[in-house]
Amino acid sequence: MRIATWNVNSITARLPRLLAWLEKTGTDVLCVQETKCTAEQFPAEALRELGYESAVNATGRWNGVALISRVGLDDVTPGLTGGPDYDGAQEPRAIAATCGPARVWSVYVPNGREVDHAHYAYKLAWFEALKAAVADDAAGPRPFAVLGDFNVAPTDDDVWDPSLFDGATHVTPAERAALASLRETGLHDVVPRPLKYDHPFTYWDYRELGFPKNKGMRIDLVYGNEAFSKAVSDAYVDREERKGKGASDHAPVVVDLDV
Transcribe 79-118 into DSSP letters.
S-TTPPPBTTB--S-EEEEEETTEEEEEEE-----STTSH
Establish whether 250 is an annotated binding residue.
Answer: yes
Pairing of strands 144-149, 220-224: antiparallel
Residue among 28, 149, 158, 220 flagged as catalytic: 149
34 labelled binding-site residue: yes
Separation in Å, CA 220 to CA 14, 83, 239: 18, 21, 13
- Tell me if residue 66 falls in helix, strand or coil: strand
Burial class from Cβ neighbours inside 10 Å (0-12, 13-18, 19+) for residue 259 reads middle
240 labelled binding-site residue? no
Is 249 labelled a binding residue?
Answer: yes
**Buried residues in 80-112 as b, exposed as e (16+ CB within 10 A):** beebbebeeebbbbbbbbbbbebbbbbbbbbbb
Q: Is 117 annotated as a binding residue?
A: no
Backbone angles phi, psi at 18, to 5 degrees: -65, -45
Does 151 appear as a known binding residue?
A: yes
Q: Which listed residue (28, 52, 86, 108) is catalytic?
A: 108
Q: State yes or no: is 108 an active-site residue.
A: yes
Q: Which of 52, 86, 223, 250 is catalytic?
A: 250
Could you tell me which residues are annotated as the binding site for Mg(2+)? 7, 34, 149, 151, 249-250
Could you tell me which residues are annotated as the binding site? 7, 34, 149, 151, 249-250
Catalytic residues: 108, 149, 250
